[in-house]
Structure 1
Amino acid sequence: MPVIKATDAEFAELLEQNEKVVVKYYADWCGNCRLFSPKYKRMAVAMQEQGIKFLDVNAETSPEARKLANVTNLPFFAVFRNGELLETVAASKEEAVAALISRLN
């Protein structure tokens, strides 16, 4: 499963269980979020062998996960290593998200 839908209930556990995690925060009403979804799934499949977990988090229904990354805009991306927030970006450009993900290496 390349992209895991996560809620507040399992978010902390997923961060603990996986060394490298990329999170896309979205909302159902966000057009740019929907447009970026296929690109995000493609990135997840392409990086599956690198041990990076890709999560989708609804920013409206998961306030704890949203606060953890200080989400300011949507779509919003965050990378975590060993449960610690490394960096974030609010963007809908694939290059910006790829640059963010490269911080995990």
Structure 2
Amino acid sequence: MAVIVATDNDFNNVLNSNQNVVVKYYADWCGSCRLFAPKFKRMSDEEGFANVAFVDVNAETSPEARKLASVTNLPFFAVFKNGQLVDTVAASKEEAVRDLINKLTV
């Protein structure tokens, strides 16, 4: 599945349109964010995550979406189930993000 790019304008719509959502908050100047982008895209294509919507949000240009997850650092990941925040992690390790996404399947 393609990674959805969302802004404050459509973020709530994306959350409400998908049961399971993982959001990557990033900034253009963030080197770790750029390095993680191909991993995030690869995970979005995995069969095991077929029922999860992968979403990119620019933390600098979408302050409302950033507030919903209380973003503290970048890259920052948040998982939402049925529009509700489940958990977050500030990490650049793929294993930490996989563990976070797996919380949606419990």
Shared fold (TM-score, shorter chain, > 0.5): yes
How far apart in 1 are the matches of 2:59 and 2:71?
8
Partner of 1:6: 6
**Runs of 4+ with deviation above 3 angstroms:** none
TM-score, normalised to structure 1, is 0.96
Could you tell me which runs of 5 or more consecutive residues in structure 2 were left unpaired when the two chains were aligned.
Answer: none
Q: Counterparts in 2 of 1:1-105, with a 5 A limit?
A: 1-47=1-47, 50-105=50-105
Task: Show CA shifts across 1:14-69 (max 9, x none).
Answer: 10111000000000000000000000000001147632100000000000000000
Paired residue total: 105
TM-score, normalised to structure 2, is 0.95
Instruction: Specify the code of the residue in structure 2 equivalent to 1:37.
Output: A
> What RMSD in Å do the two structures reach over aligned CA positions?
1.2
Instruction: Specify the code of the residue in structure 1 equivalent to 2:34.
Output: R
Percent identity, aligned pairs only, is 67
How far apart in 2 are the matches of 1:100 and 1:37?
16
Q: Secondary structure at the match of 2:99?
A: helix
Task: Show CA shifts across 1:61-102 (max 9, x none).
Answer: 000000000000000000000000000000000000000000
Does the CA-based 8 Å contact 1:2-1:48 persist in structure 2? no
